[in-house]
Chain A
Amino acid sequence: MSTPTEPILAARGLTKSYRTTVALRGVDIHVSAGEVVGLLGPNGAGKSTLTKLLCGLVRGDGGTATIAGAAAGSTPARGKVGYLAELFRFPGWATAAEVLATHQRLGHRPVTDPAAERAALLAEVGLSNAAATRVEAMSKGMQQRLGLAQALVGAPEVLLLDEPTSALDPAGRHTVREVLARARDRGTAVLLNTHLLGEVELLADRVVLIDAGRVVAQGTVAELTAVHGVTVETDQGRVEHPDISRDEIPGLVKRLVREGRSVYSVEPHRSTLEDLYLELVGDRETQR
């Protein structure tokens, strides 16, 4: 994993409303080169709007967003972005190679050997044998992989991915994780919008949790899932110490030993992303 550097994608105070519905209420987010940021939140939280705004599909009402120094959505910024929409389709009559060729032509990036790039991209997403297969003959999972290959055309500096694993089986998800890990290693900044907390825990360097158009939590997975409390088993039984932080555990154990307790086990309470998600967002779907 490379070390994240200066943000290549930076947004401050982004706001967006659709008539009476407020989708974004001042979102700040940044992604550095070589960093994968997981964007989490319930349906309708504003994740897709944020992603679309960053790639120019949606016009923001306020705030600023830049990609590699250019205004997000502008032609220079779009030239540096690879995007996979949540709901997308390629022409059913086109083959996988033709889809990629079209995007190569529209990408405005000089490619020495376009055919070799297409072959490499298809191999990267596990579609080596599907270059001549028409999109309409592909399964949803294959189309999703092709979508990812399309997003990777021209080696973009920023990848904006909206639910890239939604239609994939476990093997497909594994492939996507590998592809994104390689992209990160090449220095690509990845904003990964997903519902799958496990994907984020496995892949993301940082997590941004968004709800009702606001960022409600952000940090590394380790920071967000830090130890909160500990259960200690002594000769007097199991006792929970809910307010103890990770750094306070050794002191607690010393104190118990000093008091003559025999300590058999210490089990830190580590919350999961799911715990955090449920604590901050809850079951928002049923509350709407």
Chain B
Amino acid sequence: MTDVLVIARLALQEAVRRRVLTVVGMLTLLSGGLYLAGCISLKHHVGGLLETPAIKPIVPATLLGLASFTTLFLGSVLSVFLTAGAVRGDVDRGLVQPLVVRPVGRNSYLGGRALAAAVVSCSYVLLVSVFATALTRLMFHNLPPSAWQVIPRLVTGVLVVTALTLLVSCLFSTVATGVSVLMAYGAGLVAGLLGEIGKSFGAHTLTRIAEAVSWALPFEAMYRDALQKLSPSGPLGQLVQLGPLGGANGGGPGLWLFTAAYIIGCGLLASWRFGRADL
């Protein structure tokens, strides 16, 4: 375990020294400011409508849906950038060899890199989500009943992206890993939207494709499950479900088990692949 912490510390030190965390922090403050400005402006313009019972739950739900999309996306980008070069990329650069020749074990190396990326990206998602939810509550004195349940789903979604990136980084160089994971991320979101369109128009093929993609890329399923927690009941709630943020869809308890297995599976595959690689 000590070796894992040493490797994780090394990766975190790099993020600090390379000012990754500073830049992320500053830009997050900026986007937080934008969110605050949006909330203030919306409150000013919508005004009395916010007191209408049918409208009241829609506004914070929509805002939090937007915040969830952005947070998951930025958290995933952060995770991909921190992890894309973890294995093949750093092997190609000659950074890994001096470390794994020590009695460290390749699994400890992988664990350290995964831990560092997970700590940074999950903390980011956690902090930004808590901030957005608290700010929304403060501004509109109202939240969807399950709003706080969105946060663990987003954090888990980013964890899935981290595990997937680590696995792909065992196969491809840094750029190829980054591109392929971000494209998979985009494909997941598109599939979610297509599934929602399929549901609306009764196109079962689309819904089946979306379902399959959600299983293959469970961060998408987690995101849709998170949106489900935000979706207000009633006909106006459809606005959130059909909005540009992807379709809400409850995953059920099986989703958590499957996602845990998926993350562990990615880790085991990465360990198997890295353990047999000639460096």
> In the bound complex, how far is the Cα of B101 from the Cα of A107, in angstroms?
9
Alpha-carbon gap, A160 to B276, bound state (A): 21
Whether A89 touches B94, Cβ cut-off 8 Å, given contacts A56-B101, A103-B102, is yes
A52 & B279 in contact (Cβ 8 Å cutoff): yes
Contacts of B14 in A (CB 8 A): 91, 93
Q: How far is the CA of A58 from the CA of B279 in the complex (A)?
A: 6
Within 8 A of A (CB), among B4-32: 6, 10, 13-14, 17-18
Partner among B17, B18, B105 whose Cβ is within 8 Å of the Cβ of A75: B105
Q: Which of A76-84, A186-194, A229-237 contacts B (4 or more CB under 8 A)?
A: A76-84
Q: From the candidates A18, A85, A105, name the one contacting B98 in the complex (CB within 8 A).
A: A85
Assess whether B99 is in contact with A88, with CB atoms less than 8 Å apart. Answer: no
Contacts of A89 in B (CB 8 A): 93-95
Taking the complex as formed, is B268 at the interface, i.e. its CB lies under 8 A from any CB of chain A?
A: no
**Inside 8 A of A147's CB, which chain B residues have their CB?**
98
Q: A93-B13, A93-B14, A93-B17 are in contact. Are A55 and B95 (CB under 8 A)?
A: no
- Cβ of A258 under 8 Å from chain B: no
Instruction: Return chain B residues, CB-CB under 8 Å to A87.
Output: 94
Residues of A with C-beta under 8 A to B102: 78-79, 103, 106-108
**Do residues B101 and A90 form an inter-chain contact, with CB atoms below 8 A?**
no
Q: In chain B, what residue has the closest Cβ to A82?
A: B101
Asked whether A241 is an interface residue with its Cβ less than 8 Å from the other chain, the reply is: no
A212 at the interface (CB under 8 A from B): no
Q: Is there contact, CB below 8 Å, between B99 and A106? A: yes
Contact A105 B6 (CB under 8 A): yes
Asked if B97 lies at the interface with its beta carbon under 8 angstroms from chain A, I say yes
The reply to whether the CB of A57 lies closer than 8 angstroms to some CB of chain B is yes
What is the CA–CA distance of A150 and B98 in the complex, to the nearest angstrom?
8
- Within the complex, what minimum Cβ distance (angstroms) separates B232 from chain A? 48
Tell me whether A5 is interfacial, beta carbon within 8 Å: no
Question: B221: shortest Cβ distance to chain A, in Å?
Answer: 36
State which residues 76-109 of B face A: CB under 8 Å. Answer: 93-95, 97-105
For B98, list chain A residues within 8 Å (CB). 83, 85, 88, 90, 103, 147, 150
Given A93-B17, A93-B18, residue A57 in contact with residue B101 (CB < 8 A): yes
Q: Is the CB of A81 within 8 A of B101?
A: yes
Within 8 Å by CB of A18, from B13, B103, B278, lies: B278
Chain B residues with CB under 8 Å of A128's CB are none
Interface membership of A249, Cβ < 8 A: no
For the complex formed, measure the closest distance between the CB of A125 and the CB atoms of chain B, giving whole angstroms: 15
The CA-CA distance from A108 to B2 in the complex, in Å, is 10
> Closest Cβ of chain B: how far from A91's Cβ, in Å?
6
Whether a CB of chain A sits under 8 angstroms from the CB of B211 is no
Which residues in B have their C-beta under 8 angstroms from that of A91?
Answer: 10, 14, 95
A59, A75, A85, A93: the one contacting B97 at CB < 8 Å is: A85
The docked-state distance in angstroms from the alpha carbon of A214 to that of B236 is 77
* Nearest-Cβ distance from residue B258 to partner chain A, whole angstroms: 33
A102 in the interface (beta carbon within 8 A): yes
Do B103 and A107 have beta carbons less than 8 Å apart? yes
User: What is the distance, in angstroms, from B255's C-beta to the closest C-beta of chain A?
Assistant: 38
Q: Is A119 in contact with chain B by the CB < 8 A criterion?
A: no
Binding site for A on B (CB under 8 A): 2-3, 6, 10, 13-14, 17-18, 93-95, 97-105, 276, 278-279
- In the assembled complex, 18 residue pairs joining A and B whose CB atoms fall closer than 8 Å, in A order, are A18-B278, A56-B100, A56-B101, A59-B278, A75-B105, A78-B103, A81-B101, A83-B101, A87-B94, A88-B98, A89-B95, A93-B18, A94-B17, A103-B99, A105-B2, A106-B102, A107-B102, A147-B98
